[in-house]
Every structure is written in structure tokens, then in C-alpha cells.
Structure 1
């Protein structure tokens, strides 16, 4: 046999107006909760899509920057190689100039003539004291690259 409370509960909102109001609020709350959960899931999915899009954009930017870095590194290596070649050439030319100056000194001693033989600075240690006028170096480096 069912107790009086169980009978009232089994009757539910169909017969007792107090429970009908309670069930209606519960049903509205459930609907509201479901709608809120749906909005939350949609918002979460939208944020996930935005983050994935941002990841793709950042990866593209990173790839572009890495290409620029690689290009700049190649330019640096090329310039360093050219600089080494030029240093070797200046050493060779300085040695030749020293040899020619020593020939001039010998010629001056043998001939007895007074020759104006300038001193040759060590251009590797003091490049600002080059015996010739320095021309400005122009470049075609594209500043918009970076």
C-alpha cells in the first residue's frame, strides 16, 4: 500500500496546483539551462575557431619572418665572404706596396736623387689611414625587406 505522501507525489502536477507551479518552474529552469549550455558550447566553439585561425595566421607570419631571416643570413654570409676576400686583397696589395716602396728606397740610394716616398700605414690595423682617398660605398640593399 502506498503512503499518503507517495500518493500526493504520484498525483504530481496533474491534480495539485502547488506542484503544477513547481513543475512549470522546474521545466522553465531546465529549458533555460539547456539554452545556456547551448550558448556556452557555441561560444566555446567560436573561441576555438578564433584561436585556430590565430594559430594559422601566426604560423604564416612566423614562416614569413623565418624566410626573411634566412635571406638576411644569406646576405650576411655573402657579405662576410666578400669582406674576407677584400681583406686578403688589401693584405696582398699592402705587401706589394711595401715591396715597391723598398724598390723606391733602393733606387733613391743608388741614384742619389731625393724621392718623396710616403709612409704606408698598416691598413689592417688602421683602415682609417688608407693612403688613398676613400670613395663612399653605395648599396642596393632593400630596406623594405625587414
Structure 2
């Protein structure tokens, strides 16, 4: 019963000093306002921290994206160069195989292992492009005369 009387007295509806009740209400309202202000400030601080974190993460994301793009470009260049080298290796391997087969055929034809590929003599064909300034008179030296400097 005592608890029922105490709750009734604290509610302010029955008895009690109205000035004391108004003072309690005012203190409670001030306390609630201060608590609400602190809560709003905490929320604002959390929002500000999250906004800064979003900015930092976006910046980091852009840097990582740029790094990935740079690495992809480098990878594509290296892959292209590698493909060229593979093709050149295949071509050189085929040429080496062809040359080795020619050597084998020449050794079989000669029978003695020498490198004379053709058993018959091939006539030499003159090519004017290989010797563009032939000396037709190699045994007649040019002589300077004293009259050459007077002209």
C-alpha cells in the first residue's frame, strides 16, 4: 500500500507542494533538453565521421581503380610483346628445322659428310647490282699532271 501512496504523491495529482513539483519538472525538462542536445551532437559527430570515411574510401577506391587500369595496360602490352616473341620463336624454329633438313639431305647426297651441297659445279652468274663500279682498267693508274692545278 505504501508504494501506491508514494506513486500517487509523486505524480503530482494529489497533494504535494506545487512549487516543488514545478521545480522537479523544470529540472527534468532541462535535463531532457541537455540529453537531447548531447544526443544530437553525437549523431552529428557520427555523421561527420562517416562522411569523412566515405570521402577517404572513395579516394582510395579511385587510386586502386587507377592502379588496376595501369596494371591492366601493362599486362596487355606485355602479353602483346610475348605473343610477338612466341611467333618469332615459332618462325625461327621452323627455319632451323628447314635448315637442318637441308643439311641432312646434303650429307646424304655427298655421302662423306662434307658440306658441298651441289655435286656439280654451278656457273657463276654475274650480277651488275652486286658490283656497281667495276674497274675496267685496273692496271692503268691515274697520274696527276702539273697542268691540272692551273685550270
Other-structure match for 1:30:
29
Other-structure match for 2:91:
92
| Bigger-Rg structure (1/2) | 2
Other-structure match for 2:18:
19
Query: Which structure ranks higher in relative contact order (CA pairs < 8 Å, sequence separation ≥ 6)?
Result: 1
Other-structure match for 1:68:
67
Other-structure match for 2:105:
106
Distance 2:55 2:96 in 1: 60
Q: CA deviation at 1:113?
A: 2.8
Q: CA deviation at 1:111?
A: 1.8
What are structure 1's unaligned runs of at least 5 residues?
A: 1-15, 116-146
Q: CA deviation at 1:107?
A: 1.2
Q: CA deviation at 1:112?
A: 1.5
1:37-56 residue pairs with structure 2 within 5 A?
37-56=36-55
Does the alignment pair 1:83 with 2:79? no
1:51-78, Cα deviation, whole Å (9 max, x unpaired): 0000000000001111110111011111
**TM-score normalized by the length of structure 2:** 0.63
Which has more helix, going by share of residues?
1
- Number of residue-to-residue matches in the alignment: 100
**TM-score normalized by the length of structure 1:** 0.65
1:105-146, Cα deviation, whole Å (9 max, x unpaired): 11101222347xxxxxxxxxxxxxxxxxxxxxxxxxxxxxxx
Distance 1:56 1:90 in 2: 50
What are structure 2's unaligned runs of at least 5 residues?
A: 1-14, 115-151
Distance 1:112 1:47 in 2: 94
